[in-house]
Amino acid sequence: MKVRIINKSHHPLPGYATPLSAGMDIRANLSESVVLKPLERKLIPTGLYISLPEGYEAQMRPRSGLALKHGITLLNTPGTIDADYRGEIGIILVNLSSEPFTVNDGERICQMVIAAHSHVDWEPVETLDDTERGAGDSVIPEKNKNNKVNKNNRMFKQLIYLISFLSLVAVLPAGATETEKDQRKFDYFFYEGLNLKNAGKFDAAYDAFNHCLEIDSTAAPVLYELSSFYVQLNRPEKAVEMLKRAVANSKDNFTYKMALASITRNLGMYGEAAEEYEELVRDYPEKEELNYYLADALTQAGEIGKAIEAYDALESVMGMNEAISMQKYKLYVQLEKPEEAFKEIEKLAAKYPMEARYQIVLGDLHLENGEMDKALACYQKANEIDPTDPYYIVSMANYYEAKGDKEAAEQQIRSALVNEKLDVETKVNILSRYILKLQQTKQGTENANHLFQTLLEQHPEDIDLKLMYGGLLMAQGKTEEAKFQFQLVTEMEPGNAGAWQQLLNLALKGEDIPEVIRICTACMELFPESPEYYFYLGIAYYQQQKYQEALNTYYAGLNIIPKENLPLKSDFYGQIGDIYYQMGQLDQAYKAYDEALKYNDKNVVVLNNYSYFLSLEKKDLKKAERMSAQCIKLEPDNATYLDTYAWIFFVQGNYTLAKIYIESALEKDKTKSAELVDHYGDILFMNGDKEKAVEQWKKAKEMGKDSEILNRKIAEQQYIEDENAK
């Protein structure tokens, strides 16, 4: 069944994890993470718009993994998307746990099941037809109202359950082999696992299937079932392992092979997925749709030529298809084969003469080739079909730009912006596409500024428009004007985190410490669950040498960092370590660094600072060397880390290695650091090259370093240890 869908998100279309999956995963489409407090509900956008056929609905159901692990479910489960709904699909998530939960962009938040339904015509009657059940459980027999009887019933059911298992062995003949007994046990646990899974008792089902695996580790159906559990548990590597074993033990099973191909594709293992699909295409030539999956996997794997061949194979069976032709067009563009790309669009334009977009694409291709008359003819034809098409408007502006008529180009866009028939979203789309084209053609975007102003005059309350204009001004280096737009947004909508973030970025870039403090202080009240504002406020206080205020800020921020965000905790403790070091509290500094590395042992900033400070103290030098070596391993081209490594060898008296690494640091240094040059002079002196050492010290002074020790080294022409550096 074909379903029309508009995808305005920046994520792939929903897809089935396996061939037998009933539901497709739906992802959150967020500009920033959303925190759900306990018992809090929020509408999460998806960026998806669908048009279902009559007689079908889309059911939105919770994900069992989110429900089990975090207590996250859908408030209206299952939610229904009717066939006549055309708005964006929004998911009402609720947090039923006692802990806050962060919804990140791209997170799988629910499943969508497409289901058929019927409309009923009510037929009022006096009586209903009799059945064996009758009123069933709606009427409680008198004897069942007795609690003792109910308790006995439950005990009876449990007894029956136990007897059913024991009977597996009891019914075997006296001479039954162990193999037969194992098979009976296997069958029991397998079918019980299926029943438990269908009943939503996933933990018990998982245990039952694992019992099966203990009896027969090669059972492909069990391996297949377990793979779906590992997908839900977010252990994709284990799911792939299970499916590979299932395929190996059941080489002719299409379902298992397809599931393996699908999961590797969904996990971004496109090379492996392509290999699986190639095998499926070879083994099942009658299933022509496999070529589509193969082509997609090959495209993602960068095998563009092979992908086109797969689309050709699919086209030879299905005939000309709009989706296939568009995919081939895009691939030919990637391969820089304009003639082949042009042919694909020509075919589409011929088959769909009333589709304006194909005429526009044809016109764009002619324009790129400098065929102005042909381009104009295509655009005019598109205009006849749909004069309000935003692509047409932008393409005509590009046409005038190519002719050197900037005034006409701007007028084309301006006329669209003042067109009352066009909504603001369409106008923004037109303007953004025009700006993108200006950027692609290396033209200045300043021409678009007054167009933005025209649009803002019509829609002064449009927040997104102001944010977009502010972003453009930032790209142009007009920071004050950009700041004005973002400030307006925060006044109009104080809870707009995006605008605050842009203001913070500008303040950090401009090293405007008071402004950083103002923004972070405001945001800590507006967004109390966002620790990043504590982080930057701490940096600002540190820059002002308000060390105690900085420490207080970081310790307060530690309390709101989500427990799963270990890297951020590491960064906080790293900053705390730096502050204690500046305060001269070295033991506290090293304790904080150790804590930082406990949360992230690859935090290169902490590893570098920790090792360098130890070297200055000439303390735990082997530990310092190990940490510095880890830095070099993680970032081998970082001049600062190479300098630290060189200095640790210098302090240990290994002047040969010190010289090797300081020269490597100088080679990779793009900042022209006087400190590195000074260190080079020290190392050269200890290597016995006094003349070159003095040259480097003089060079460091010329580069801006000015210290009493450096002046003495130059004057006395010998190395002098800087006691103040400790």
Cβ atoms within 10 A of the Cβ of 122, count? 5
What is the H or E stretch that residue 710 is in? helix 708-716
pLDDT digits (tens, 9 = 90+) for 277-319: 999 988 988 887 788 888 888 988 889 989 888 888 888 887 8
Assign 140 a pLDDT band (cuts: 50, 70, 90). Answer: very low
Residue 139 has pLDDT above 60, yes or no: no
pLDDT digits (tens, 9 = 90+) for 591-607: 999 999 999 999 999 99
For residue 118, which phi and psi values (nearest 5 degrees)?
-125, 155
What is the H or E stretch that residue 666 is in? helix 655-668
Residue 19 has pLDDT above 60, yes or no: no
Residue 171 has pLDDT above 60, yes or no: no
Q: How many CA atoms lie within 13 A of 153 on its CB side?
A: 8
Distance CA 229, CA 197 (A): 10
Assign 633 a pLDDT band (cuts: 50, 70, 90). Answer: very high
Distance CA 56, CA 74 (A): 21
Distance CA 456, CA 454 (A): 6
Distance CA 101, CA 37 (A): 7
The DSSP code sequence of 276-344 is HHHHHHHH-TT-TTHHHHHHHHHHHTT-HHHHHHHHHHHHHHH-S-HHHHHHHHHHHHHTT-HHHHHHH
Residue 338 has pLDDT above 60, yes or no: yes
Taking each helix axis from N to C terminus, what angle separates 254-266 and 270-283, rounded to the nearest 10 degrees? 150
Distance CA 273, CA 252 (A): 18
Mean pLDDT for the chain? 85
* Percent residues over pLDDT 90 in the chain: 40
For residue 410, give Cα distances in angstroms to 150, 451, 474, 476, 696: 81, 8, 22, 19, 57
Supply 223's token pair: 């391996």
* Percent residues over pLDDT 70 in the chain: 90
Secondary structure, 3-state, 357-388: HHHHHHHHHHHHCCCHHHHHHHHHHHHHHCCC
Distance CA 517, CA 622 (A): 40
Residue 282 burial (CB < 10 Å; 0-12/13-18/19+)? exposed
Mean pLDDT of 169-198: 73
pLDDT digits (tens, 9 = 90+) for 492-534: 999 999 999 999 999 999 999 999 999 999 999 999 999 999 9
pLDDT at 684: 95
* Order of strands, sheet of 41-45, starting from the edge strand that comes earlier in the sequence: 41-45, 90-95, 72-74
Which stretch of 66-75, 420-429, 552-561 has the lowest confidence by average pLDDT?
Answer: 420-429
Distance CA 538, CA 549 (A): 8
Question: CB neighbours of 148 closer than 8 A, spacing ≥ 6?
Answer: none
Residue 16 has what DSSP assignment? Answer: B
Assign 419 a pLDDT band (cuts: 50, 70, 90). Answer: confident
Distance CA 105, CA 30 (A): 5
pLDDT at 443: 64
Question: CB neighbours of 713 closer than 8 A, spacing ≥ 6?
Answer: 681, 694, 697, 719, 720
Which stretch of 368-377, 517-526, 583-592 has the lowest confidence by average pLDDT?
Answer: 368-377
pLDDT at 178: 63
Distance CA 700, CA 672 (A): 10
Distance CA 299, CA 292 (A): 11
pLDDT digits (tens, 9 = 90+) for 616-625: 999 999 999 9
N residues, the chain: 726
Own/partner contacts of 487-491, CB < 8 Å, gap of 24 or more, are 489/463
